[in-house]
Amino acid sequence: MARSALLNVMVQAALKAGKSLGRDFGEVQNLQVSVKGPGDFVSTADRKAEKIVREELMKARPTYGFLGEESEEIKGTDGAHRWIVDPLDGTTNFLHGIPAFAVSIALERNGEIVAAVVFNPATDELYTAERGGGAFLNDRRLRVAARRALSDCVIGCGVPALGKRNHGKFLVELRHVMGEVAGIRRLGSPTLDLAYVAAGRFDGFWEAELAPWDMAAGILLIREAGGFATDWDGGATILESGAIVAGNEAIHKALLEVIKRPIPAK
């Protein structure tokens, strides 16, 4: 696949950060860990990876804005472009030695995601996409799964962690979806969940209360793989609402209907 200069910059930043994370993953028990909030840990590996990504991206495009999970937002002088970065999505997995985590980099132009990179250094899987150019896994073209019946589908989801709101609401959604599908999976990394939808491994995905860096790259991967990714009203305010539903056209529509079923009256 041919990559633009900007996508090459993003890939190199992700690979460099991934190399750092790979070294730390091998010595996970020695990491210095601080607590950012209940169920939401941040490690020295997190901060180091974000520093690498930020320096690589800002060196290439110093006028672009930068929104990352581990640091304050940088307002770019460019005005039209912003990097959206999660240097280590799946931190809890990482700290427990579970190889399901990723570096996520998205480029936003005038409010639209136009390029995306997701890299899991534990599996050496590199997902890339550019608007209008398709989505790829290690240079292999991606398409979302073609299943059209929920009963045939494996659906990914996020589970609210300790300290998060709406545990009860999620359990209702989960009960509704469980009654319709072949299986439900939770990877513990929404970035990878969305990449798996783009790759056809998951047929769909839903989660609420996410941050922009959890979703930005995955949104473009899915759309460029022929899928649909919207907010829970079927609209485009995913990054603002923090809620996402994704799948092919049929599964996206069906999943929206199921998760929005009314909560039974007590």
Whole-model pTM: value is 0.93
Each residue's pLDDT tens digit, 59-99? 999 999 999 988 889 999 998 999 999 999 998 899 888 99
Cβ neighbours of residue 149 under 8 Å, at least 6 residues apart?
none
Ordered structural domains, the chain, with CATH: 5-141 (3.30.540.10), 150-260 (3.40.190.80)
Q: What is the CA angle 106-259-38, rounded to 5?
A: 60
The per-residue pLDDT for 37 is 53
Cβ neighbours of residue 1 under 8 Å, at least 6 residues apart?
128, 133, 134, 136, 139, 141
Each residue's pLDDT tens digit, 167-213? 888 999 999 999 999 999 999 999 999 999 999 999 999 999 999 99
Confidence tier at 166 by pLDDT (50, 70, 90)? confident
- What is the residue type of 162? L
Binding residues for Mg(2+): 69, 86, 88-89, 214
The per-residue pLDDT for 71 is 83
Contact status, residue 154 vs residue 146, Cβ threshold 8 Å: no
The per-residue pLDDT for 45 is 87
Contact status, residue 190 vs residue 89, Cβ threshold 8 Å: yes
Using DSSP's 3-state secondary structure scheme, residue 185 falls into strand
CA distance 24 to 31: 7
CA distance 85 to 213: 5
The per-residue pLDDT for 38 is 46
Q: What is the CA angle 69-48-59, rounded to 5?
A: 85
Binding residues: 69, 86, 88-89, 214
Residue 174: which H helix or E strand, with range? helix 167-178
CA distance 82 to 250: 32
The closest of 136, 143, 98 to 117, measured between CA atoms, is: 136
Calculated CA dihedral for residues 127, 128, 134, 135, nearest 10 degrees: 10
The DSSP output letter for 29 is G
